[in-house]
Amino acid sequence: MPTDRRRGPLDLAYRVLVLPGVIAYLFAVSIVVLAADRFWLVDLLTFAWPYVGAAGVFLVLAALLTRRVKAIVIALAGLAIAAIPALDVPTARSATAGAGLKVLTANLFVENAEDPAVFIDLLRLEKPDIVVLQETRADWAQAISASGLYPYESSAESRERENLQVFSTLPIRAETTLQRAFTEEYAHKQPLRLELDLNGRPLFLYALHPETPRRLWQWRDRNAYLAAAADAVKGDLEKAPVIVAGDWNTPTWSPFFRGFLKQAGLTSTAGGWLQPVTRFSMRLDTFAYIGASIDHIAVSPDILLHERRVGPYFGSNHLPVIAELTLPQT
């Protein structure tokens, strides 16, 4: 019959492609959501989670075309499970009034050969109150300092030791490199903690740049780094507002990002599934920014978010992240 001939290829696609595809997808995303906090290679899949989500949407559409209830239900279940990491991120509350403090974080990329003037022009345009930099070279730090935009900056020792540099319009009361116990042979990175003066009141700022988890020992050390920073933040949170910024080398959808926020008691300035890429492949940037969202700004629950956005390209393989915040009055 004509109907059978028309449905023949569709039935074949259902049995050979769609049904096996949605079952495999459901199984794969379930494994990641349940086991990413225990297995290195599984956690690495969270770097590509938006693309995993896009694959789930494609499978749902394919299942709808087949009109088979089983495939549709399985595809929707897989997509729902893939959405759990995005829905589980504590996010900052929106501010009803204008912003009172602007924070910018950027990884300058140690191999960056661009003129720092491009980045300084960005600072002049955005006028952030606090700038948190990672992979900071001496020439870039000196150029930003010479611009006269920021009367206060973190020490050269922090930059030389951790490649972290902070520039601020707020006075810096104290600067501390957190001391944590190392369990990995090659580990050396430490978070940087600053106490800023906010109109006579303290404001704690943490600059982060843990290891990139390309190897197993780096993954373990990154997780230990975040746990140690979360413990320190939790103690400061009892005394004053806290802002944490930097290149976390941890995507939003990783259980270690969510675990840090919950352990520290902070909220993310970015939430949801479709977040703009902040670290991208320079080999593919001619076509699109292909990468992950690993540069973050997190705040204490009493800090409200007016706006969070990703800034323009300035020569690095990271894009700057900018958050406009409203701080508590008391």
- H helices within the chain, ranges in order? 2-13, 19-35, 40-44, 49-66, 69-87, 116-126, 138-146, 156-162, 216-237, 255-264
Rg (C-alpha) for the chain, rounded Å, is 22
Residue recorded with tokens 């843990």: 210
From CA 180, how far away is CA 159, in angstroms rounded? Answer: 18
Q: What is the pLDDT along the chain (330 residues), one digit of tens a residue?
A: 444 444 577 787 777 788 899 999 999 999 999 999 999 999 999 999 999 999 999 999 999 998 899 999 999 999 999 999 989 999 999 987 766 899 999 999 977 778 899 999 999 999 999 999 999 999 999 999 999 999 999 999 989 989 999 999 999 999 999 999 899 999 999 999 999 999 999 999 999 999 999 999 999 999 999 999 999 999 999 999 999 999 999 999 999 999 999 999 999 999 777 788 999 876 666 666 788 999 999 999 999 999 999 999 999 999 999 999 999 876
One-letter amino acid of 174: A
DSSP string, 258-282: HHHHHHHT-EES--SS-PPPSEE-T
pTM of this structure: 0.92
